[in-house]
Structure 1
Amino acid sequence: MPRLLHLLRSAALLALAGLLVLPVLAVFSAWWPGTPGGAEAGAILREMAATVLPRYAGTTLWLALWVGLGAAVVGTATAAAVTLFDFRGRRTLEWMLLLPLAMPAYVTAYAYTDFLQFSGPLQVGLRTHFGLEGRLLPEVRSLGGAVWVFIFSLYPYVYLLARTALSERAPQLMEAARLLGAPLPRRIRAVALPLARPAVAAGVALVLMETLADFGVASYFGIQTFTTGIYKAWLAMDNRWAAAQLATMLLLLVVVLLQLEHRAQRRMRFATQGVGRASSAEAQPLRLRGCWGVLALVLCALPVLMGFVAPVAFMLRPLAADWSVLPWDRFVEWAWHSVRLGAITAALAVGVALALAFAVRRRPDALTRGVVQLASLGYAVPGAVIVVGLLLPVGWLQAALPHWGLAALVTSTAVGIVWAYLVRFAAVALQSVQSGYARIPRSLDDSARMLGMGPGALLARVHWPLLRRSTAAAALLVFVDVMKELPATMVLRPFNSDTLAVVAYQLARDERLGEAALPSLALVAVGLVPVILLSRTLRSRA
């Protein structure tokens, strides 16, 4: 009987792993010689290499280069300012610098386009007031505009990690360097920045993964990146094998960035060993006064202004101008579709996370650890790759079993889109639940077994009461991510089930930016919830 239970457990874990990893692995079938795509791989690749591939690769690399550099500069500078110095408004700016996390990058793109475009209020006002003609500002829908949007939308990843690293280690070492006679510029250059370097590298890797996974900004600005190329190959050219091959190239770039992020995280853990917080109690931030205090204030306030305050103000303008043109009658329907998909996915993701985390807790063998690692890969995979990887095997099954209607089950119902969400966001719930398990001593498990509790009673009566906060946080994070997700939702959503993210994109694409403000602001409001909770957590640890 124990052997049978072990086999059933292993089969269940393997089935769950297959469910979560199948869309990721399926894209590589485009190169397999036994498939139609594999047989045509050489011809398709040569055709793309001669036409679109250089443009996709060049644009993607330039975008990643400038966004990574800009996010590193902005995130590190602001983290150093609020950690190493004390100035008027620092306490407020510490948490306000996290606000751009609540803004989806594509929403920021809509807001800036509405305000800065040729027919926008800024250029119209300048032409009217000064009697000028023609275009007065650079075109916002460009590579430079996308770089601007991504930098001020994603720099909080670098800021958060760099701030944590500096607050844990820099104060006491900066104080020691001061006692040894090192001037302030040298203390920053030789002590603080080297300590923050692994955290900055990890943050930049996260920024680049988000940039590579983006579809909304690149598509709306007309930038030819790998992500937009995947959708163009699948939907416009009706060539699933070309889309799969582009998806594999994008996935390889993400794998490289993921390895760099893991290396940076290991360096961060190594650097924190042996460094306590008690010794930093006497090391206080350097007080800035006069023009230096104003400069630090402006340095920290500018990213908040560009990444959150200005886009929200730009979107509020059409709401204040004329409320009657807004689609209030459809808004409730769009919000309900978003909330329904978010709630279903959050519940399933938390269930998967609890099952995997409990399995590792009970029996941390190689199979269980491998399944957990596979489940954790999905969050780094762009939504475009998941869509291609999900639709390819569905097409094979439909061709093999035409009377079963499997394609309609996945593409015409919520099954397909929830499956894609689970592949992408189950890792978010798993990380939160595992962090909750890390705080539960194993002695409780031993005591429960000595009292005769089985696995079900152990989970329900011992673990669950201690995991409620972690599972609630996991459900909230998954819910918010699903609400903001755009690429997979656009392709896999059921008919007449538009979400707030999809509607905002469609209205903005149709130049109905005023109407796009309402669903966009709703997404921002939802995104503010985890940001507020995160800022409260950071303040309580300070």
Structure 2
Amino acid sequence: MVATFLTNWAGASRQYLDRWLVGVVLLCGLFLAPVLALVITASGDSDGLWSHLLNTVLGTYVSNTLILMVGVGVLAIGFGVSTAWVVSRYHFPGKTVMEWALLLPAAIPAYIIAYTYTDFFEYAGFVQSGLRSVFGWQTAQDYWFPEIRSLGGAILVMASVLYPYIYMVTRVAFRLTPASLFEIALVHNKSQFWTVGLPLARPAIMAGLALVLMEVVSDFGTVEYFAIPTITLGIFNVWLGMNNIVAAAQISLVGFVFIVSLLGLELYARARQQFSGNGKPPTPVTPIVLHGSKVFICWLICMIPLALGFLIPVLVLLSFVLVNNAGADFAAVSGIISNTLMIAGMASVFVMVVSCFIVLTATYRSGKWVRSLALLSSLGYAFPGTMLAIGVLIFASAFDRVIATITNGHILGILISGLGVLLFAYIVRFQAVGYGAMISGVRRLPPNMMNASRILGHGYSSSIKLVILPLLRSSLLAGGLLVFVDVMKELPMTLLLRPFNFETLATFTYQFAKDEMLEQAALPALMIVIAGLVPVALMNMMLKRSR
């Protein structure tokens, strides 16, 4: 009887404890563990440092972060909405080039533009030297020129590279607006932009704005180079400068409030993206053909953000590379290139394997709560790198201590001693990119594809291998490329968690630029920009499909 009971219990356990689901739950818990570790650490004692920060610099951190968010948000909306409206609503010479060229600033990290703009606009730079030569000025007292290393400069730099988030989604929204609505505005002699285009595109604009502001909160390289005390820079300074990880975790919770608010804004905007119709496909908008001075105005609207966000910084970097011995520079950074390709390749493979496993299991073998858990575990991308690095380091230290205890000290430093902790941090942060690529691919498949395969006699594993994965090949490739490029550009987490004597293109560029040696940083910075063109090409393909 006992044997029969144990046999039945084992069978029931195998039935209800699906190993695929258990694996997904364990992975999701692993990805959420750094955030939980951060919260637990923040509840500890900071030896009075938190109260000192609260009375001195915390207000400055918060106010500067808010000013940056407002300034970058306003300017990015101006750049993104105006350019999206021009290329969507009007036809003029060069429009086809402008449609994809306006995405190019997304290829450049904000910190690289900060480095190039400092050289371009400083006292000894190209602009001020040219002004002194033209007008005969001798010293800085003879004229006034805005300081690039300021809040205003940081706003200009960040908005110039982040506006494509808003441009992309707003352009799609304008294209999908039925022509009949614009015709109604014309009949009533109303502005097509203010009464039709902008109101209908507002949810898309707000979703893009939320992404822009998350990038502003997460930025480290720009604010550190410009010496602007923000929440992200405060975390870095308190952790490494004051050697107090508890106080750094407590500042991180302040940043967590910003992130949660922005995530709520993004979800609210997406929830409002609902339209009603009569069931017929909407008539596409016919662009208005422009001539004369109006063509110049359209070109001016498009060229200002394009020049600020791409042309000027790339030309500055190219000038440094061409003036210096590019061959010698390449030989000097060959080891750095190998490190970058290795760590980015490993991270992209791990992220896509994990994302594929989670998405397919959550879609085909689970219920609503597992799918919600899978979505929740992909929120690491929303957290600033400095904040996430603290949680990852705390969790990795605890994990290594547990393993050492279990093995009586025979296995030490699985994560902390090498690249393990950095790879884990990349997976936690960029798993959202892989998850997004895979979930979008799965949603394009026929809903009964798996059931049809099972009816034909294939098991779950063989159905995934023979039917589902071949159809998701493009999603796997696109997600892997995006992760690869994101890891190449990642700066704060790599700075904080890399092993000794391990450099990537991002950290190598940062080290030289911080020491005001931009000539040596130009080649690796340009290589990061070239790699960043990959997601730009993918975004342009997606926008073409929206037609």
**Residue from 503, 506, 528 that aligns with 1:501:** 506
TM-score in terms of structure 2 length: 0.92
Please say if residues 398 and 404 of structure 1, whose CA atoms lie closer than 8 Å, have aligned partners that are also in contact.
no
The percent identity for this pair of structures is 37
How far 1:40 moved relative to its partner?
4.2
Alignment partner for residue 355 of structure 1, among 357, 365, 370?
A: 357
Aligned to 1:291: 293
Alignment of 1:134-533 (within 5 A): 134-135=139-140, 137-169=145-177, 171-178=179-186, 180-183=187-190, 186-268=191-273, 270-271=274-275, 273-274=276-277, 278-281=281-284, 283-323=285-325, 327-396=329-398, 404=409, 408-533=413-538
Which of 509, 514, 539 is 1:534 aligned to? 539
One-letter amino acid of the counterpart of residue 539, structure 1: K
**What stretches of structure 2 of length at least 5 have no aligned partner?**
1-10
1:358 CA displacement = 1.1
- Cα distance, 1:300 vs. partner? 1.0
CA RMSD after TM alignment = 2.1
Contact 1:84 1:171 in 2 (8 A): no
Aligned partner of 2:264: which letter?
A: Q
Q: Which amino acid aligns with 1:182?
A: N
Pick which of 295-304 and 10-19 moved more: 10-19
Q: Which runs of 4+ in 1 moved over 6 A?
A: none
State the match for 1:121 in structure 2.
126
Which letter does structure 1 place at the counterpart of 2:110? A
CA change 1:90–1:68 in 2 (3 A) is: same
For 1:485 and 1:385, the matched residues in 2 are separated by 14
Q: Measured at CA, do residues 274 and 404 of structure 1 come closer, stay the same or move farther in structure 2, by a change above 3 Å?
A: farther
Letter of the 1:19 counterpart: L
Give the 3-state SS of the residue equivalent to 1:339 in structure 2: helix
* Structure 1 SS opposite 2:414: helix
Q: Deviations over 1:332-383 (max 9, x none)?
A: 1111111111111111111111111111222231442132122221111111
Residue 28 of structure 2 aligns with an amino acid whose one-letter code is A
TM norm structure 1? 0.93
Q: 2-side partners of 1:538 and 1:522: how far apart?
A: 25
1:399 to partner: Cα distance:
6.7
Deviation at 1:326, TM superposition (A): 5.6
Cα deviation for residue 492 of structure 1 reads: 0.9
Q: Deviations over 1:381-424 (max 9, x none)?
A: 11111101112234445677587498843333111111111111
Output one character per residue of 1:437-469: Cα deviation in whole Å (capped at 9) or x when no partner.
112113221221112211110110010110101
Q: Would the alpha carbon gap of residues 57 and 458 (structure 1) be closer, same or farther in structure 2, given more than 3 Å must change?
A: same
Assess if the C-alpha contact under 8 Å between 1:501 and 1:520 holds in 2: yes
**Gaps spanning 5+ residues in structure 1: where?**
none
> CA–CA distance in 2 between the matches of 1:406 and 1:208?
43
> What one-letter code is carried by the residue in structure 2 that aligns with 1:279?
P
C-alpha spacing 1:276/1:307, structure 2 compared with 1 (3 Å): farther
Of 491-500 and 501-510, more deviation after overlay is shown by 491-500
> Paired residues, what number?
530
After TM superposition, give the deviation of residue 325 of structure 1 in Å.
Answer: 9.0
CA offsets per residue over residues 31-75 of structure 1, 9 Å max, x none?
43xxxx2x448x443211111101101111111110011111111
